[in-house]
Every structure is written in C-alpha cells, then in structure tokens.
Amino acid sequence: MNRSLHEWLAWQETAHDKAWDLGLHRIGAVWQAMGAPRLAAHIITVAGTNGKGSCVCWTEGLCQAHGVSVASFSSPHLSDYRERIRFDGDWVAEDALVAAFEAVDAARGDISLSYFEWSALAAFHLIARRQPQVAVLEV
C-alpha cells in the first residue's frame, strides 16, 4: 500500500498499543533485520533531560562550520515532522522519509513499534544510506 507521509504518521500514532513500552529489543530486532548497516564514521549521542535539541543543533552547526558532512536526528519536532532528520542542516525530503518508513515496515514483520521507534529506525536507515562523516543522535 502506498501511503503519503501524513498517512504514515497518522497510522503510527495508533499502531502501537502501549504509550510507554521501554526497552531496545524491538528496535534492535528490526535494525538487525534491516542489515544493521553502519551509520557514520563518527556518532555523537546526546542524552539527558533538558537541552538535547539545542545541543544537537549546536553540534550540527559546529560540524558544518568545519566542512564536515553531518546528519542529525532529534525528537520531537516543532513544526514539521521532517525537521527531526537533517542532512547538513536541511530537512529530509518527504519522499525519502516515506521510502524509509516503507523499508522499516518491510523489515519489522509482526514487531509492533512505538512512534519514536519508527522515527529512529527511519532516521538510522536514511543516515546509513547517506553515510555522513558525523551523525548526531538525540536519544
């Protein structure tokens, strides 16, 4: 079934029956099914309670200022879902994001994924395909 980005996002909001379902087993299993490709030469993970998005943007800008190709993933978005995944500061294209959701869907089998897991796996897929020098990931 060919879905638009809007249709994918609406479906993902209701596809997983638990609001909070912690653990890495689902995302790990799907990533393995996708071949677990390497994301980038260097990966920077940003964790914590406050300021993660700002830290991701700052690190992304620093990389760009030094001519380093960079991909970033952050969540949630402010105005448009595509801003979650950026390459050298530019939002991911809608058709690329739809293709990434299709790739995740093909690999997941009967594994139910949360909204965040769909986002992360789509981002990882896109980043692995692009192979930037640095990936900055908000976790």
Give the gyration radius of the chain's Cα atoms.
14
The residue behind tokens 């996708």 is 34
Range of the domain at 105: 46-139
DSSP reduced 3-state for 42: strand
- Whether 71 is covered by a domain: the verdict is yes
- Whether 22 is covered by a domain: the verdict is no
Token pair of 16, please?
A: 């997983």
Token pair of 85, please?
A: 């995944």
- Whether 67 is covered by a domain: the verdict is yes
**70-73/134-138 β-pairing:** parallel
- Whether 124 is covered by a domain: the verdict is yes
- Whether 36 is covered by a domain: the verdict is no
Q: Tens-digit pLDDT profile for the chain (139 aa)?
A: 689 999 999 888 888 776 666 789 999 999 999 999 999 999 999 999 899 999 999 999 999 999 999 999 999 888 999 999 999 999 999 999 999 999 999 999 999 999 899 999 999 999 999 999 999 999 8
pTM for this entry? 0.91
Residue 3 and residue 100 in contact, taking contact as beta carbons nearer than 8 Å: no
- Whether 11 is covered by a domain: the verdict is no
- Whether 131 is covered by a domain: the verdict is yes
The residue behind tokens 């949630």 is 76
Number of domains in the chain: 1
- Whether 29 is covered by a domain: the verdict is no
Length of the chain: 139
